[in-house]
Amino acid sequence: MLIQRIFASVLLLACISLILMAWPYQAPFSYEPIGPRAFPLLMLGLMGLGLAYMVFRPSPIIHTTDDPPMDRETLHKIGLCVLLLLIFAGLFEPLGFILSSILIGIPMARLYGGRWLPSAVIISLMSVGLYLLFDKVMDVPLPLGLLDVLEN
């Protein structure tokens, strides 16, 4: 329990330090309506709240038999997940948000037990829906990549 609280305290101090570093940031130009500092501050703030709870919670986190074991299969899935996310980051600009999300989302769903057809349908709808939400509703531009011909 003490190690968990120490770990959470160190991460909380890191969050507070990063918030203090990001707070005065002002970009000379902004391509987003809320500016470039809002997202990191929001994420650091939420992470800080969770870590503060971990530091001051009344009882320790006790792992039960319901928790998945950290065996070879679980570590393999985590490694593949990280690899897929790195591939997504590399394909994001050239292929665009929609295609790279579909290309990485379907193997990710399959990795965690999804069936082919439902995974393909849901990931495709989510990719298009998230693109429309960010680009059209929230006015946060996302790259279209190869689908650039569809714009206008």
Q: What is the pLDDT of residue 138?
A: 78
> Could you give phi then psi for residue 112, rounded to 5 degrees?
-105, 25
Report the alpha-carbon distance of residue 54 to residue 66 in Å, rounded: 21
Every domain of the chain and the residues it spans: 2-56, 72-150
Give the pTM: 0.60
Rounded mean pLDDT, 119-133? 92
Of 6-15, 70-79, 113-122, 142-151, the least confident: 142-151
Report the alpha-carbon distance of residue 70 to residue 92 in Å, rounded: 31
What are the Cα distances from residue 22, in Å, to 50, 56, 60, 133?
19, 25, 32, 26
Q: Confidence class of residue 12 from pLDDT cuts 50, 70 and 90?
A: very high
Range list of H helices, the chain? 2-22, 38-56, 72-95, 97-111, 116-132
Of 32-36, 103-107, 131-135, the least confident: 32-36
